[in-house]
Structure 1
Amino acid sequence: PVDELFRNSELLTLPFMTGVNNDEGGWLIGNVSLAHFLQPENAHFKKLVVEEYVGTGEDRLKNRESFTQVLGDLMFVVPAIKAANAHRDAGAPVYLYEYQHPPKFLQDKRPSFVKSDHGDEIFMVFGFYVCSEEEEQLSRTMMSYWGNFAYTGSPNGRGLVHWPKYGAKEEYLEIRSTEQVVSQGLKKDRFALLTQTLPETHGQTTDKEHSEL
């Protein structure tokens, strides 16, 4: 199982690049249901997630955004960070990114509230459907990063914003429409909630239920 390989650091120490977009659940997978997690037996999940993502539930726009954020975090963000942590801990050079540019050619094909949805970075990496000078430059920048990584094992090169390795500081590269910015701790609090607090709470709930039988 993958989790066992991660725990035991049984991984090749080859250079590893991974990343996510800032609205992974925004549109493409927005019809995925969370019904399984909201069943009575998963009440602990519902309580913690609602408190963190939704709040009071009175703001309908926030409810919509919260739903897409939960989907994206569960399906893509958490797995990506887990993989980055595991490869880093095994001794591999790791590069993590968050892509933030919504393609212009899709602006009239999906709701305006959708930011960078799952898979959106692929268009710029391969130069597909580039619609402006801004996107032309972004595409060239991403081609350089990806090409350098494929050729040398590092995305860095002349004329590019330095992309640090993902290490103890959990640095990653924000790839925005017109700039690249180094940040730290991608969704750190929510990653801790979904991978530590939630399992611990579930374990405590299960133990309590067993003790009452």
Structure 2
Amino acid sequence: MVSCLRQKPADELVTAQQGMMKWGTGEWGVAFGPVVDGSFLRAHPDDLYDRGRAHPVDYLLGVNNHEYGLMLPSLVDPKFGQGMTEETFVHSLEALIGMLYPSSHTASIVAAARELYHDQDKPDDPMAIQRQFTHVFGDWMYVAPTVDTANRHAASGSKVYLYEYHYPPAFASTVRPGWVGADHCDDVFMVTGCPFLDVPVNTRMTEGEGLLPFSSEDRKVSGDMMAYWANFARTGNPSDRTGGPADSPTVPEWPRYTPDSPAYMNLGLTSSEDVGLHHDRVALWNDVIPEILASSERDEL
């Protein structure tokens, strides 16, 4: 198998991986992910944290507020975005939970998730149901693991700074419906300074030719984010301008994250601090589900 894979062109492997991404079947996933091989990746990160072997470095990490908004679900369903029925939502939720947590308590986990991801104001609105669906997948894939990592790394003694990014770039309004928030990778445009550069249009992101149309607001957000990241790289504190260029903007104070005080920054046109990133939703994946599974194991014993 290894010999065969080594002889395959990269584009053939990518095509094969895309073919394995199936919608709502329980088989959705990435074919070629990290593997604990005992050499390059010697142990699972969870095991390293549990054994107190976390690398002692300060850590800045975060998510966007709509990680599974449009780009990622459109990769597995090109027609995504037209709304969703309750039946489709529940079927997809059951497929996901069944794949992740096959046990006698799968139904209990599905019920707990459905109760939490429920729009009380618009319970029958297909667009509201779809939005809840996007948060299910976004929380499972990104938000809950990011908060778990923040907790584990902070508990190891290193400084941690957590964020949720809220601002979609200006060009997004020409290619995305208004219900999409800051989608997956939107923060990358800003932290790498794209609004100050001539970025050619990519037909996968927007229509037409020429350069991406960034706005003055984009440049404001990008400047602030680059200041935060550069400050952190220089001083270990994203708000500390010491040693930076004279024109580096003064940015709002970014509080340190700890498990006892889970402060984080809402990054956007006007950034502000908050506490407890999507606490109830994160708790479902990081606390409630593991407890349900633990009770299942106790019942079996």
Aligned to 2:264: 172
1:27 maps onto 2:85 in alignment: no
Q: C-alpha deviations, 1:114-142, integer Å up to 9, x for none? A: 10011100111112246211111111111
Q: Which amino acid aligns with 2:64?
A: N
Structure (1/2) with the larger helix percentage: 1
Give secondary structure in 1 for the equivalent of 2:73: coil
Per the alignment, do residues 206 and 54 of structure 1 end up closer, same or farther by CA in structure 2, a change over 3 Å counting? farther
1:47 maps onto 2:107 in alignment: no
Give secondary structure in 1 for the equivalent of 2:128: helix
Q: C-alpha deviations, 1:128-179, integer Å up to 9, x for none? A: 2462111111111111111111222221134111111112211111112x21
Distance in 2 separating the partners of 1:119 and 1:9? 31
Counting only pairs closer than 5 Å after superposition, residues 122-141 of structure 1 correspond to structure 2 as 122-129=188-195, 131-141=214-224
Counting only pairs closer than 5 Å after superposition, residues 69-148 of structure 1 correspond to structure 2 as 69-129=135-195, 131-148=214-231
Aligned to 1:62: 128
Distance in 2 separating the partners of 1:205 and 1:59? 35
Give secondary structure in 2 for the equivalent of 1:11: coil
Distance in 1 separating the partners of 2:183 and 2:193? 17
Structure 1 runs (4+) greater than 6 angstroms displaced: none
Cα offset for 1:207? 4.4
Q: Which amino acid aligns with 1:78?
A: A
Q: C-alpha deviations, 1:69-114, integer Å up to 9, x for none? A: 0111000001111111111000001110010001111212122211
Aligned to 2:48: 5
1:197 maps onto 2:280 in alignment: no
Matched-pair contact (CA < 8 Å) for 2:165–2:187: yes
Q: Which amino acid aligns with 1:197?
A: V
Give me the identity figure in percent: 35
Per the alignment, do residues 88 and 140 of structure 1 end up closer, same or farther by CA in structure 2, a change over 3 Å counting? same
Q: Give the structure, 1 or 2, with the largest relative contact order (CA under 8 Å, sep 6 or more).
A: 1
Consecutive unaligned residues in structure 2, runs of 5 or more: 1-43, 77-91, 197-213, 242-249
Consecutive unaligned residues in structure 1, runs of 5 or more: none
TM-score, normalised with respect to structure 1: 0.89
Cα offset for 1:38? 4.8
Matched-pair contact (CA < 8 Å) for 1:125–1:139: yes
Cα offset for 1:58? 2.2
Name which one, 1 or 2, has greater alpha-carbon Rg.
Answer: 2
Aligned to 2:233: 150
* Higher deviation after alignment, 82-91 or 104-113: 104-113
Aligned to 2:204: none
